[in-house]
Amino acid sequence: MTLRDSPCGGPGGTPAADPDTAGDPVPGPCTDRPHRSRAWAELLRLPALFSVPGDALAGTAATGSAPNSRTLLAIGSSLCLYEAGMALNDWADRDVDAVERPHRPLPSGRIRPAAALTAACALTGAGLALAAGAGRPALAVAAPLAATVWAYDLGLKHTPAGPVAMGAARGLDLLLGAAATTGRTREALPSAALLGTHTLAVTTVSRQEAQGGSPLPPLAALAATALLARLVTRPSAGPIRGHRQTTALGRTDPRATRRPGQESGALLTTALAAAYAATTTRPYFHATLNPSPPLTQRAVGAGIRATIPLQATLAARSRGTATALLIAALAPLGARFAKKVSVT
């Protein structure tokens, strides 16, 4: 923070001295609290939280159900487990960040490592407790989700299994919403696989965001985005409801005609899929041409933000129009707050 940025007029937010009361404490609202809050916001990457509620909501939509109070518990559990992973990530990487990212809250000394680890433990416990409140099926999904988060941060992150683990965690998070709302997850498995694939691609790119590297990961992520956009807009298998079906006597069945709701749902799905692809295409392409740290970090940030329109697309694909619109509304909020605190 520069002198101009400080609300108190002193360097780093220190209250400006009053020449008439030199040596006396200067009362006022300027303390270390805003700086601590800023440090925790950076540690937990708070703008990325906007990409979390859509997991549970998309999982709920995949089961054909409307969100209920148990869905809210699943969202709360997801938020806690996500933030536990953020805090644990920086705790585990504090030595690496001291070299590559000395400005991060832990290596810069703004947050103690013990505090970050304590926060990770407390958030994990809170996440599991909220899942338990949603029922045994939700806890049965939340427990392996928490285990995957901890395994990724403490050991798998720097191995070839790292991106797969991260993709599995995001897929489990979607299944958590389905399990909490309805007690079943089978219908949500295809959506979980699609969302997990997107996360795997973003995580693969993120592995070289600090030092740059090969153009292959962003190129692969670009191809994955195109494939996913195609898959989420592809008509489902089975009879196509948009056409008249022929009876055994060769006559058409007028009851099988396309309904207006299905037309609008298909259009919404296509529009959201286009928004998903548009969010990542340019950053991935630029990172492919020049895989430098700044462009790679920009591609990773775009991939994280693109999670929201993908979640909305999955909900619309499952005819959860209202749920899809609710998820989509989170995208501009996440983009706005990401300008203040980095999501990477």
Residue with tokens 């970050």: 116
Comparing CA positions, the residue from 310, 72, 52 lying closest to residue 181 is: 72
- Which residues pair with residue 245 across a beta bridge? 253
Comparing CA positions, the residue from 179, 207, 206 lying closest to residue 192 is: 179
| 243 token code pair | 């056409």
Q: Which helix (H) or strand (E) holds 252?
A: strand 252-253
With 0-12 / 13-18 / 19 or more C-beta atoms within 10 angstroms meaning exposed / middle / buried, residue 210 is: middle
**pLDDT digit string (tens) for the chain, length 344 residues:** 333 333 343 333 433 444 443 444 444 444 467 788 899 999 999 888 999 999 999 999 999 999 999 999 999 999 999 999 999 999 999 999 999 889 999 999 999 999 999 999 999 999 999 999 999 999 999 999 999 999 999 999 989 999 999 999 999 999 999 999 999 999 999 999 999 999 999 999 998 887 778 899 999 999 999 999 999 998 654 333 334 444 444 454 444 445 655 677 789 999 999 999 999 999 999 999 999 999 999 999 999 999 999 999 999 999 889 999 999 999 888 888 777 777 76
